[in-house]
Amino acid sequence: MGEESDMEIIRLENIGKIYGKDSYKTIALQNVNLKINAGEFVSIMGASGSGKSTLLNIIGCMDIPTSGSYYLKGSLVNGYGNSKLSKIRGSVISFVFQHFALLNEYTVYENVELPLLNIKISRREKKERIYHYLEQLKIKDLANKKPTQISGGQQQRVAIARALVSEPEIILADEPTGALDQKTGIELLEIMKAINNEGKTLIIVTHDNKVASYSKRIITITDGKIDSDVTNNSDLEEKISKSS
């Protein structure tokens, strides 16, 4: 459990993305080819404007490519209508955003409940599932609080619980520690590492080397193209240094 499988879950073939046209045209992605297996923990790194967030949005079915093919779990996503893409976002893929994207007028419990509103499960199962993830993220005691009454780190834990509650196979995180102090950021990264160890496929967009070091594979994107794709051996190197 927790190890990546040989089963391909994401495949991008010659993906391109262009915004605008003529003299106002911006090329965000160019001929991107990428394969990610189930259970991988991948970081996508790059400077601001490199195309990393566009890539994440295409993987997350929040945006559609201008060219190329996107296969999710072996099925071609290109051409899917809004309702089918929405269903994928509600069941297969979940997002964690930098600024939490919580609704301040709702309680912590109600924020975590949101992805379940369109899923046909009993009220009892819904409640059990919500409290399971609140407990896992150590925020069960905050269930009746509003987001404005809790800290940034606690808000991000709520956002992660909300991403997990629909029990998706893939979690996408866009600069998940960007709005947090270093200590809280590290705590959140340890949580995300534990989530990956439970078998979830985890893809993080970041510009921070420390954040990327928690992943098992680091992809660097420059000017809309994949610049490098390497296995992160930091865990192995740490074990070797401790034993020598």
Record the tokens describing residue 140, joined without a space: 């069960």
Examine the pLDDT at 241 and tell me if it is beyond 70.
no
Judge whether 216 and 230 are in contact, CB under 8 Å: no
Say what the pLDDT of residue 90 is: 79
Q: Give residue 240's pLDDT.
A: 33
Percent of the chain with pLDDT over 70: 93
Query: How would DSSP label each residue in 181-220?
Result: -HHHHHHHHHHHHHHHHTT-EEEEEES-HHHHTTSSEEEE
Whole-angstrom CA distances from 180 to 111, 134, 154, 156, 186 are 20, 20, 10, 9, 9
pLDDT-derived band at 236, boundaries 50, 70, 90: very low
The answer to whether residue 23 scores a pLDDT higher than 90 is: no
Give the pLDDT band (50/70/90) at residue 237. Answer: very low
At residue 79, the pLDDT reads 81
> Is residue 21's pLDDT more than 80?
yes
* Stated pTM of the model: 0.88
When pLDDT is averaged across residues 35-50 and rounded to a whole number, the result is: 94
Average pLDDT (26-40) is 95
Report whether pLDDT(20) > 60: yes
C-beta of residue 109 within 8 angstroms of C-beta of residue 134: yes
Minimum mean pLDDT range among 15-24, 57-66, 147-156: 15-24
Distance between CA atoms of residues 62 and 174, nearest Å: 13
Q: What is the pLDDT of residue 234?
A: 56
Q: Give the CATH fold of the 8-242 domain.
A: Rossmann fold (3.40.50)
pLDDT level of residue 177 (50, 70, 90 thresholds) = confident
* Mean pLDDT value across residues 102-111: 95
**Which residue has better confidence, 55 or 117?**
55
Convert the pLDDT of each residue in 114-141 to its tens digit.
999 878 889 999 999 999 999 999 999 9
What CA–CA distance (Å, rounded) separates 45 from 69? 22
pLDDT score of 3 = 58
> How high is the pLDDT of residue 2?
52
Domains of the chain, residue spans: 8-242
pLDDT in tens, 210-229: 889 999 999 999 999 999 99
pLDDT surpassing 80 at residue 244:
no
